[in-house]
């Protein structure tokens, strides 16, 4: 929970740089630890938004992963003064250490010499093929992690979980590798919401259903088409996805999630209600619906 709003403006800066396309990033020291400070994306000329809400999405999304028991990057919301403008930002704790580096899943794909797939291809067939052929991490552990992540991403509406924003921690000294904590959840929870969208979703059931059954889709593709979360999960055709559904759904605590959102002081009441309503609907209409079908089938 957030007790105070942290002002990151005068925090000590470090020279470490971070890649990725979602917003500008700087490195700072906060609470004696290295953090990546992420700024909101700049809106495109086609939108009337004053800023993108990906900092809120990052914070809520990462905490939801944590609530269901998946190891996740720690995040803290706050503000930063830049060019006399106060911006909402999110500080993401750097979970690497002196001997560790992040290697994304695409890098693992590239290590399979006889693979016909490109590292950044996101077809489901390619991802599963890599998980089965790699010998760096226990196959069952990696497969379970992938599908658990997929179910939570379906819940929070993540449309950009590609092979470059999840992966592993490699230790340069021991030559050991392990699954990295979840990171980069900024492309979830409709981070480009504006007042009109919030109003439509809160007071129009069709607009809410559109954001459950139609958008967003997953970055992962099936037959070269982005996966529709509802259609894929409710089909019950993938046994590993089904098993993840059974693992994750009982762990989703909506009381904790609602309390988390209610305790964000930087957010308007309408915005809080938007997040809570969307998450409730996506849980009930995608995950709970599919889970109940699966229990009946079993």
Residue 44: is its pLDDT beyond 60? no
Residues in contact with 38: Cβ distance below 8 Å, sequence separation at least 6, in sequence order = 22, 23, 24, 25, 54, 55, 58, 89, 90, 91, 92, 186
Percent of the chain with pLDDT over 90: 78
Structure tokens at 219: 């970055």
- CA distance linking residue 111 with residue 117, whole number of Å: 11
- What is the pLDDT at residue 125? 93
Phi first, then psi: give them for residue 287, nearest 5 degrees: -75, -50
Residue 205: is its pLDDT beyond 60? yes
Are the beta carbons of 165 and 19 closer than 8 angstroms? no
H or E, element range at 90:
strand 85-93
- What is the pLDDT at residue 112? 77
Residue 52: is its pLDDT beyond 90? no
Residue 121: is its pLDDT beyond 90? no
- CA distance linking residue 12 with residue 247, whole number of Å: 41
pLDDT in tens, 246-262: 999 999 999 999 999 99
- CA distance linking residue 56 with residue 245, whole number of Å: 26
Name the band, by pLDDT with cuts 50, 70 and 90, for residue 48: very low
Residue 265: is its pLDDT beyond 60? yes
- What is the pLDDT at residue 38? 94
Question: Given strand 167-171, what is the order of strands in its sheet?
Answer: 100-104, 167-171, 177-179
- CA distance linking residue 125 with residue 132, whole number of Å: 11
H or E, element range at 180:
none
Residues in contact with 83: Cβ distance below 8 Å, sequence separation at least 6, in sequence order = none
CA 125, chain centre distance (Å): 21
- CA distance linking residue 190 with residue 215, whole number of Å: 9
Q: Which pTM does this prediction carry?
A: 0.94
- CA distance linking residue 232 with residue 220, whole number of Å: 11
- CA distance linking residue 174 with residue 57, whole number of Å: 35
SS3 of 9-48: the string is CCCCEECCCCCCCCCCEEEEEECCEEEEEECCCCCCCCCC
Where on the phi/psi map is residue 66: left (φ > 0), alpha (ψ -120 to 50), or beta? alpha
- What is the pLDDT at residue 1? 41
Residue 118: is its pLDDT beyond 70? no
Residues in contact with 116: Cβ distance below 8 Å, sequence separation at least 6, in sequence order = none
Are the beta carbons of 100 and 174 closer than 8 angstroms? no
Name the band, by pLDDT with cuts 50, 70 and 90, for residue 279: very high
């Amino acid at each position: 929970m957030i007790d105070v709003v942290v002002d990151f403006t005068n925090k000590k800066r470090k020279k470490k740089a971070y890649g990725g396309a979602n917003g500008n990033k700087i490195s700072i020291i906060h609470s004696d630890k290295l953090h990546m400070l992420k700024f909101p994306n700049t809106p495109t000329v086609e939108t009337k938004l004053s800023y993108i809400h990906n900092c809120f999405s990052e914070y809520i999304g990462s905490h939801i992963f944590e609530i269901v028991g998946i190891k996740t990057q720690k995040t803290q919301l706050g503000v930063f003064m830049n060019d006399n403008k106060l911006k909402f930002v999110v500080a993401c704790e750097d979970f690497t250490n002196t001997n560790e580096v992040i290697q994304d899943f695409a890098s693992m794909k590239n290590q399979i010499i006889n693979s016909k797939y490109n590292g950044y291809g996101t077809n489901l067939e390619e991802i599963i093929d890599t998980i089965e052929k790699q010998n760096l991490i226990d196959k069952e552990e990696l497969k379970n992690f992938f599908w658990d992540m997929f179910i939570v991403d379906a819940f929070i509406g993540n449309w950009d979980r590609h092979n470059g924003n999840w992966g592993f921690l490699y230790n340069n000294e021991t030559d050991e590798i392990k699954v990295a904590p979840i990171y980069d959840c900024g492309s979830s929870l409709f981070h480009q919401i504006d007042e009109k969208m919030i109003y439509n979703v809160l007071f129009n059931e069709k607009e809410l259903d559109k954001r459950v059954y139609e958008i967003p889709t997953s970055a992962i593709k099936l037959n070269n088409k982005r996966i529709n979360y509802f259609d894929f999960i409710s089909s019950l055709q993938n046994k590993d996805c089904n098993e993840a559904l059974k693992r994750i759904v009982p762990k989703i605590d909506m009381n904790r999630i609602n309390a988390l959102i209610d305790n964000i002081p930087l957010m308007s009441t309408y915005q809080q209600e938007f997040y809570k309503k969307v998450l409730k609907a996506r849980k009930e209409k995608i995950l709970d619906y599919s889970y109940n079908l699966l229990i009946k089938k079993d």
